Structure 1
């Protein structure tokens, strides 16, 4: 709905509640991990309420309960199942990397934790490109004022912005552990492990924002079957590459080279799909968008 302020306000309030709750319940009252859980629960309830209120201001009644029909459940399944497979494949691959990294010793685990945390912090900057594509692309692809040429121009802009963002994030994300590794660990062995993954780390990070924009466009175009199937295939091949590299004695660097291959495969396949002459950005076939009429609460 192009409403980014509603979720932002809810997230800000939830963050404050969670932070204050952690301090009061954990540090002051001594409830420990249970206190942290209660603080998180309270923040999520408040955030959920604020988001429903934001929907209500747009004419919805978010507090109304109804039993969905079979056709409505089928529509939800058609949308949610491919996205679930896609997200599960991504999380599964990252989990495999953690699994293999933990089998390499304490220094490798410590180095990987530092690098993956910086990596995750940097990749967040590319996610708005996906959200932008999902917000603005639908009306250009299959809305009343459908305009595929403008959709292609928007995608081109998003990919260029993603490429520039990726290069900047790659340079910053690589420079920090390279030039200031003592900020994360004083252990020379851990620092050495961190430096061995800098090249694949940069390669993986630099392409991620552009990949977000491409996959966001595929989601906006409801090319969900392709997304789920391609991601499942990339996950399977990536797991095989990860197994071969780690089994071949490449150590932690092998894990990150596998991640770089995983990210570039996602980028290449999504780019190829969106540039096909009979693809969603060129074809006049609108049947792929029809999941049935949706009902509002």
Structure 2
């Protein structure tokens, strides 16, 4: 775990910084479909596929040249001995970068068309390949961390191909690339930049979380890795709520048959589902490390550290699905300036609280309560905006939002 932990986090967080491609694709496709313009949809998909490929190649080169440096900066000089093995994992995973980002564009285009079955099949097959590959390569063939990396890399390439194939079956070409014009690039940048800032704020906060935990000793690092990885796996269950909002809201907000009451009803349903899902996933996610810590470790000290953060773990996890539904609605409504500013504010304040609690001797528990504050602040700020009479769900004056949609 000590080798794969930092390597996995570096790969996943680098990946997360390109979520703006996924969000931009869902938004642009859903908005164009709301206007029933198929040619425009194909053109935007082709442009975003090109951008995804270009970013993927760039990141593959970056990983090749600076992977070891990034790991060293992340783990710190005290943990230099784990960098070589971790770098092996990062280098292998890096080979899949172009496929990963192209696959994201194809997946998000399908979701923007309200097709979740194709991406679901791709993710199911990829998960199976990854799981079986891990067992065969690591357990039976003894390839260790390299085997885990190859299993993940192959699963990502297969998932990308299946997502592109699903898009082709809907009558669009996922193998058609188009170089964007300067004006198109500027339009996409206008949409992607606030989303990128939002994603980077999240990534930087979680990076700080790991950084402060890393300075607290081996047992704390191990406990934090277990809890953070199970937390990350659990938060994935809330992502479909964000995608649902981004797929269905544009039609209700900007489509030919605009209907704000229906949009508000949809959001209410998503928040209720999110609250229910949060309690269920939070309870299950909390129960596993609490009742069955032996699944992760036999070390009593590590288990003790894990149990210290059970309460903040639940509080942070339970609100996450509802937050996804609110932020997905803000993204669908193109209220990008607000969401980027609010997320930047959450990062700035959350980072300060995290530093104060860590330096104040509150240990790992302090780090996780900082995460609770970060998650609940995101929820509160998004909710306040959407309940506002000037928000996209209530205001009949759509000029500021419609201009953004028209430009896109």
TM-score (norm 1): 0.90
Query: C-alpha distance in 1, partners of 2:287/2:138?
Result: 36
1:9-48 map, 5 Å: 9-19=121-131, 37=149, 39-48=151-160
Query: C-alpha distance in 1, partners of 2:135/2:305?
Result: 35
Q: Which residue of 2 aligns with 1:108?
A: 220
Deviations 1:36-55 (A, max 9, x none): 55554444343333322322
- SS of 1:274's partner is helix
Q: Which residue of 1 aligns with 2:403?
A: 290
Residues 154 and 37 (structure 1), Cα distance of their counterparts in 2 relative to 1, 3 Å cut: same
Q: Which residue of 1 aligns with 2:236?
A: 124
Query: C-alpha distance in 1, partners of 2:291/2:223?
Result: 15
Query: C-alpha distance in 1, partners of 2:301/2:148?
Result: 34
Query: C-alpha distance in 2, partners of 1:40/1:156?
Result: 37
Cα RMSD (Å): 2.3
Residues 115 and 286 (structure 1), Cα distance of their counterparts in 2 relative to 1, 3 Å cut: same
Q: Which residue of 2 aligns with 1:244?
A: 356
Q: Which residue of 2 aligns with 1:90?
A: 202
Deviations 1:190-230 (A, max 9, x none): 22212221221111111111101101111111111111111
Work out whether residues 221 and 289 of structure 1, in 8 Å CA contact, stay in contact via their aligned partners in 2.
Answer: no
Work out whether residues 204 and 263 of structure 1, in 8 Å CA contact, stay in contact via their aligned partners in 2.
Answer: yes
Work out whether residues 334 and 404 of structure 2, in 8 Å CA contact, stay in contact via their aligned partners in 1.
Answer: no
Q: Which residue of 2 aligns with 1:69?
A: 181
Residues 207 and 39 (structure 1), Cα distance of their counterparts in 2 relative to 1, 3 Å cut: closer
User: Which moved further from structure 2: 69-78 or 52-61?
Assistant: 52-61
Query: C-alpha distance in 1, partners of 2:238/2:269?
Result: 13
Query: C-alpha distance in 1, partners of 2:162/2:222?
Result: 39
How many residues matched? 295
Work out whether residues 239 and 321 of structure 2, in 8 Å CA contact, stay in contact via their aligned partners in 1.
Answer: yes
Work out whether residues 286 and 314 of structure 2, in 8 Å CA contact, stay in contact via their aligned partners in 1.
Answer: yes
Q: Which residue of 1 aligns with 2:100?
A: none
Deviations 1:157-188 (A, max 9, x none): 11111111112222222222223333332322
Cα shift at 1:144: 1.2
Query: C-alpha distance in 2, partners of 1:234/1:254?
Result: 17
- SS of 1:173's partner is helix
Select which of 149, 152, 164 maps to 1:52: 164
Q: Which residue of 2 aligns with 1:214?
A: 326
Work out whether residues 75 and 292 of structure 1, in 8 Å CA contact, stay in contact via their aligned partners in 2.
Answer: no
Query: C-alpha distance in 2, partners of 1:21/1:198?
Result: 32
Query: C-alpha distance in 2, partners of 1:172/1:36?
Result: 26
Q: Which residue of 1 aligns with 2:313?
A: 201
Cα shift at 1:291: 3.4
TM-score (norm 2): 0.67
User: Which moved further from structure 2: 252-261 or 161-170?
Assistant: 161-170
Work out whether residues 130 and 151 of structure 2, in 8 Å CA contact, stay in contact via their aligned partners in 1.
Answer: yes
- SS of 1:145's partner is coil
Cα shift at 1:239: 0.4
Work out whether residues 278 and 321 of structure 2, in 8 Å CA contact, stay in contact via their aligned partners in 1.
Answer: yes
User: Which moved further from structure 2: 25-34 or 197-206?
Assistant: 25-34
Q: Which residue of 1 aligns with 2:10?
A: none
Query: C-alpha distance in 2, partners of 1:167/1:241?
Result: 26
Deviations 1:222-269 (A, max 9, x none): 111111111111101110000000111100000000000000000000
- SS of 1:78's partner is helix
Gaps of 5+ in 1: none
More helix by share: 2
